[in-house]
């Protein structure tokens, strides 16, 4: 009798442990984010630090976002054309390109690109600072490490994610124009008329809400992983920095796509 | 170095804001001065397929849009009330006809207005009485197929 009960109880124990760890880490990250956000309002000298982060997250990502945006729009124009031409309604290409960019691809692809470009460097930078005891040194010098390291990054991400998403959307529409109008000879007026008539304000606000949320999410996860590098159980030292960076990128990407589904179902 | 960095951030913010403005004003049709134009309502037996934001046209020229669709509050009537916002200087006589039409075979529904000959001009908040509801293509096909014509 006791043997029969061992397996189910072991499974229940495993499930319980797993879900408690998950809930623990979600709560820990939320608190981390809230502390970081609260220091935006009361941290000293937040502005120059934010400017530096805006340069690192925003300006340095500009080129890669332009590149990705134009190719994304071009491939949407191409794919959309060959699908729509079967129904003889190539005039709808503008709607297809602009709506898929503004609603979904713009926020998600921008966030994933920024995770790779800016998020990974956040995790690695803060992780190295942690294992070389620089964060403790900040603390000893009476500089709050959260206010010094995390808050400017959160603020900069909240500003630059929506802006980069807007740039991505616009350049993607230009990309669709390049393939649709210049290469495949759709009527230029029809392309832009369809864009203007099908995109509504709620599509745009939905996209911007998404990119804002992704900005908070990515920065929180990446900073949290870097900040707690020393507490990793799987590795120590430089290896822990590598692992922290990897898991920061992986967790961010998974959370971006999962929360995108949840946000879309709320916004629609 | 600091100056160069500030300039770079400034360029980034500027490009971003230009894109945001273009998207919201040009595509989102955001109105900085709300309440331009005047509102009319029209009662239809069926507003099936008509959506908020649909165009209102006279002779194919867009002159406004649908801003609200709701069921008539009077429990004795089953009619849809459609609120339209039209351009400010548009003059419509009170015997104008509003009809729901479809652009193309499977396109979006829109409202087409045809001007009447009366001398009374519709003002803010008036109701268009002459209306034609959307043509129900399926029931027409059904009538044709089963000999109801």
Domains of chain B, by residue range, sit at: 1-30, 38-137
CB within 8 Å: A55 and B53 = no
Interface of A with B (CB under 8 A): 51-52, 54-55, 58-59, 62, 98, 102, 159-160, 162-164, 166-167, 169-170, 195-197, 199-201, 203-205
Considering the domain boundaries, does residue A249 fall inside one? yes
Q: How confident is the model at residue A249 (pLDDT cuts 50, 70, 90)?
A: very high
Identify whether A154 is part of a domain.
yes
Q: Does A6 fall in a domain?
A: no
pLDDT beyond 90 at A66: yes
Q: Quick one: pLDDT band at residue A44, thresholds 50, 70, 90?
A: low
What pLDDT is attached to residue A156? 93
**Host domain of residue A105:** 44-267
Q: How many structural domains is chain A composed of?
A: 1
For residue B125, pLDDT over 90 is answered with: no
Q: Average of pLDDT values for A47-66?
A: 90
B12 touches chain A (CB under 8 A): yes
Mean pLDDT of A213-228: 94
Residue A6 has pLDDT above 90, yes or no: no
Q: Is A98 part of any domain?
A: yes
Decide if A232 is inside a domain.
yes
Chain A contact probe: residue of B9, B13, B66 with most A CBs at under 10 A: B9
Choice among A100-114, A174-188, A201-215, B53-67 with the minimum mean pLDDT: B53-67
Confidence (pLDDT) at B52 = 79
Tens of pLDDT along B62-110? 888 888 888 888 888 888 888 888 888 888 888 888 888 887 766 778 8
Residue count of chain B: 149
Instruction: Find the mean pLDDT for residues B100-126.
Output: 81
pLDDT of A1 strictly over 60? no
A36 lies in some domain: no
Q: Which of A247-251, B69-73, B85-89, B134-138 has the highest mean pLDDT?
A: A247-251
Asked if pLDDT for residue B31 goes beyond 70, the answer is: no
Angle between helix A201-227 and helix A120-131 axes, rounded to 10 deg: 20
Q: Which pairs count as long-range contacts for A146-149, CB under 8 Å and 24+ apart, including other chains?
A: A146/A35, A146/A36, A146/A39, A147/A39, A147/A42, A147/A43, A147/A44, A147/A46, A148/A43, A148/A49, A149/A223, A149/A227
pLDDT for B30 equals 64
Look at B32 and A181; give whichever has higher pLDDT: A181
Residue A190: pLDDT above 60?
Answer: yes
pLDDT of residue B35: 60
Interface contact A62-B19, CB threshold 8 A: no
Contact across the interface for B20 and A59, Cβ inside 8 Å? no
pLDDT value of position A78: 93
Pairing of strands B130-132, B80-86: unpaired
pLDDT over 90 for what percent of chain B? 1
């Amino acid at each position: 009798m006791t043997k029969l009960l061992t397996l189910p109880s072991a499974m229940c124990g495993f499930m319980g442990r797993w879900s408690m760890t998950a809930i623990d880490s979600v709560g820990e990250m939320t608190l981390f984010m809230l502390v970081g956000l609260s220091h935006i309002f009361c941290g000293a000298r937040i502005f120059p630090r934010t400017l530096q982060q805006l340069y690192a997250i925003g300006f340095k990502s500009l080129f890669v976002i332009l590149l990705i945006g134009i190719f994304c729009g071009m491939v949407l124009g191409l794919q959309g054309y060959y699908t729509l031409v079967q129904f003889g309604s190539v005039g709808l290409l503008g709607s297809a390109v602009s709506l898929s960019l503004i609603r979904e691809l713009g926020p998600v692809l921008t966030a994933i690109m920024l995770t790779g470009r800016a998020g990974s460097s956040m995790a690695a930078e803060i992780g190295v600072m942690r294992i070389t005891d620089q964060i403790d040194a900040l603390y000893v010098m009476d500089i709050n490490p959260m206010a010094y390291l995390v808050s400017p990054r959160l603020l900069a991400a909240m500003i630059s994610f929506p802006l980069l998403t807007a740039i991505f959307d616009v350049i993607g529409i230009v990309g669709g124009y390049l393939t649709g109008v210049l290469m495949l000879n759709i009527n230029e007026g029809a392309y832009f008329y369809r864009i203007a008539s099908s995109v509504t304000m709620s599509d745009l606000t939905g996209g911007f809400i998404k990119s804002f949320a992704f900005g908070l999410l990515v920065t929180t996860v990446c900073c949290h992983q870097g900040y707690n590098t020393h507490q990793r159980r799987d590795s120590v030292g430089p290896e822990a920095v590598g692992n922290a960076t990897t898991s920061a990128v992986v967790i961010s990407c998974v959370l971006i796509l999962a929360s995108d589904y949840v946000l879309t179902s709320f916004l629609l | 170095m600091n100056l160069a960095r500030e300039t770079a951030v400034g360029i980034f913010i500027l490009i971003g804001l230009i894109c945001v403005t273009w998207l919201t004003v040009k595509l989102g049709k955001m109105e900085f001065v709300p309440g331009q134009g005047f509102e009319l309502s029209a009662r239809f037996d069926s507003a099936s397929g008509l959506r908020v934001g649909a165009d209102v046209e006279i002779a194919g020229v867009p002159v406004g849009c649908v801003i609200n669709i709701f069921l008539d509050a009077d429990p004795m009537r089953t009619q849809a009330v459609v609120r339209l916002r039209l351009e400010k200087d548009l003059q419509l006589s009170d015997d104008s006809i509003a009809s729901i039409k479809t652009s193309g075979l499977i396109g979006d529904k829109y409202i087409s207005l045809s001007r009447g000959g009366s001398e009374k001009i519709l003002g803010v908040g008036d109701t268009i009485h002459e209306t034609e509801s959307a043509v129900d293509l399926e029931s027409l096909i059904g009538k044709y197929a089963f000999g109801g014509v």
